[in-house]
């Protein structure tokens, strides 16, 4: 193998590893965003009870 082939192999392996790490991070961000959207949706389904209970909990802790 000459120098160019070795350099190309090193670059390809590093870029593949980097893309795998970025892919896992994107997966976890999307998973967390889905969880947040579900929580917001639950809050918006019946906002008066949820907000009232939330405010009561804040008053109890203060």
Q: What is the DSSP letter of 8?
A: H
pLDDT in tens, 13-51: 999 999 999 999 999 999 999 999 998 887 777 767 767
| DSSP string computed for 28-61 | HHHHHHHHHHHHHHHHHHSHHHHHHHHHHHHHHH
Domain ranges of the chain: 3-61
Residue 62: band (very low, low, confident or very high) from pLDDT cuts 50, 70, 90: low
Cα distance between residue 6 and residue 26, in whole Å: 30
Per-residue pLDDT at 10 exceeds 90: yes
Mean pLDDT of 46-61: 75
Predicted local confidence at residue 52, as pLDDT: 76
Q: Which residue has the higher pLDDT, 59 or 38?
A: 38
Question: What is the per-residue burial (b if ≥16 Cβ within 10 Å, else e) of 40-62?
Answer: eeeeeeeeeeeeeeeeeeeeeee
């Amino acid at each position: 193998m000459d120098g160019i082939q070795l350099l190309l192999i090193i670059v390809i392996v590093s870029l593949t590893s980097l893309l795998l790490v970025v892919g896992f991070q994107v997966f976890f961000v999307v998973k967390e965003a889905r969880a947040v959207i579900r929580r917001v949706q639950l809050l918006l389904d019946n906002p008066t009870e949820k907000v009232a209970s939330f405010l009561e909990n804040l008053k109890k802790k203060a």
